[in-house]
Amino acid sequence: MRALGAALLIISAATPVAARDPILGFPVDCTLGQDCFIQNHVDSDPSIGTADFTCGTLSYDGHQGTDIALISDVEAIKGVSVTPISPGVVRRLRDGVEDQFFAASAPHPDGQDCGNGVVIDHGGGWESQYCHLRNRSIAVEIGQRVGLQTTLGQIGMSGRTKFPHLHVSLRKDGRVVDPFNAVPLNYCGDEDAKSLWADKITYRPSGFVNAGFSPQIPDYDEVKWGKAAPQPVGIDDGALVFWAQIFGAQAGDVMQLVIHGPNGVFIEHEETLDSTQARAMRAAGRRLHEGNTQPGHYHGKAILTRNAREIGSISATTTLTAP
């Protein structure tokens, strides 16, 4: 096998697109807003600052692709397929790099930021690159012609990554093109930004990743891994806690968490976030005692608001069981 490039060359300016631009298919077998979401876009700010194509914060300095994230390591382990964004020929690939599932922090080999990956030539100077694929999942060969339904591999956690996702990068003549804004502009946020996606993809500046109940405030790594929501919670566990994880958190956002039980509101908590973060988790709950312990079904709901406007919400249920 030929080795995949160690890392993408950081180029701030997008390349001009030709009259026959590719029309792109969504490359992950998931549903945005349900079991996956876009964590990062191409950085459109040529300076040391950061901005996605809307002038929002879903990027980081020098980021050269689109990161389509799954909600947890547990979901990735089930197997989520990756397909090409456009037909073409496989030119380069790498497999055999170990995944980092359920690892709080793990190093990646030097020169292997992309991890396991595939590069596809679409002709006319266009190519795409797919990174962080699951170890030993790559299902294509160099020189193979692939279509929109061809499985390239599965989402993994190989290379330089802190969460399971596909990093997909589109290039024209070696220069990065943002598929959400293919025409090079002097500024972000232009209402005439040209998308190359065949189907409209709604921009979500923030949203919920997952939520659940635990008998205590869960460790954040357990939340990210998808291991923080045991079912059900027992009265003898000592506490009932509802937690929710969000992406794209901004300073000043307000998170409200409410638990309803058989006797009405069990707890209601509101908190203003004090910093901008790619991911954040908040939790609220109460210790269980004779005066508030009622076996039955409990419903938790989290609401995120920004500038007094609701950004999103998520719910979860559990059963509080008697000993």
Are 26 and 149 members of one domain?
yes
- The string over 34-72, giving b where at least 16 C-beta atoms fall within 10 Å of a residue's C-beta and e elsewhere, is ebbbbbbbbbbbeeeebbbbbebbbbeeebbbbbbbbbb
| Element at 74 (helix H, strand E) | helix 73-77
Domain that holds residue 264: 207-321
> What is the reported pLDDT for 47?
83
| Element at 221 (helix H, strand E) | helix 220-225
Q: How many residues does the chain have?
A: 323
| Element at 76 (helix H, strand E) | helix 73-77
User: Is the pLDDT assigned to residue 257 strictly greater than 60?
Assistant: yes
Are 50 and 158 members of one domain?
yes
| Element at 60 (helix H, strand E) | none
The mean pLDDT of 121-137, rounded to a whole number, is 97
The mean pLDDT of 100-128, rounded to a whole number, is 89
Are 174 and 117 members of one domain?
yes
Are 119 and 228 members of one domain?
no
Are 234 and 165 members of one domain?
no
**217-251 pLDDT tens trace:** 999 999 999 999 877 899 999 999 999 999 999 99
Torsion of the alpha carbons at 33, 36, 40 and 41, rounded to the nearest 10:
-70
> What is the reported pLDDT for 16?
44
> What is the reported pLDDT for 187?
66
> What is the reported pLDDT for 105?
63
Are 200 and 220 members of one domain?
no
The CATH number of the domain where 154 resides is what? 2.70.70.10
User: Is the pLDDT assigned to residue 13 strictly greater than 60?
Assistant: no
> What is the reported pLDDT for 191?
72
Q: Which of these ranges, 17-26, 80-89, 110-119, has the smallest mean pLDDT?
A: 17-26
Q: How far is CA 2 from CA 9, 90, 143, in A?
A: 19, 11, 11
**What is the reported pTM?**
0.90
User: Is the pLDDT assigned to residue 31 strictly greater than 60?
Assistant: yes
First to last CA, the chain: 58
306 pLDDT tier (thresholds 50, 70, 90): very high
Round to whole Å and give the CA distance between 241 and 229: 10
> What is the reported pLDDT for 4?
43
Last residue of a domain, one of 204, 221, 237: 204
The CATH number of the domain where 236 resides is what? 2.60.40.2550
Are 118 and 23 members of one domain?
yes
- For 13, the 3-state DSSP assignment is coil
The mean pLDDT of 169-174, rounded to a whole number, is 96
Instruction: List, in sequence order, the alpha helices (H) in 107-203.
Output: none
Q: Is residue 238 within 8 Å of residue 215, measured between CB atoms?
A: yes
> What is the reported pLDDT for 18?
47
Q: Which of these ranges, 139-153, 182-196, 267-281, 305-319, has the smallest mean pLDDT?
A: 182-196
- For 192, the 3-state DSSP assignment is coil
Q: What are phi and psi of 225, to 5 degrees?
A: -75, -20
The mean pLDDT of 109-136, rounded to a whole number, is 94
The mean pLDDT of 280-302, rounded to a whole number, is 93
Q: Is residue 54 within 8 Å of residue 202, measured between CB atoms?
A: no
Are 181 and 276 members of one domain?
no
Residue with tokens 């980021």: 63
Share of the chain above pLDDT 90, in %: 77
Mean per-residue pLDDT of the chain: 90
Are 29 and 118 members of one domain?
yes
Q: What are phi and psi of 236, to 5 degrees?
A: -75, -5
Last residue of a domain, one of 204, 236, 259: 204
Number of domains in the chain: 2
32 pLDDT tier (thresholds 50, 70, 90): very high
Are 88 and 197 members of one domain?
yes
Q: Is residue 77 within 8 Å of residue 101, measured between CB atoms?
A: yes
The mean pLDDT of 57-74, rounded to a whole number, is 95
Are 86 and 25 members of one domain?
yes
> What is the reported pLDDT for 322?
87
Last residue of a domain, one of 204, 229, 260: 204
Are 180 and 238 members of one domain?
no
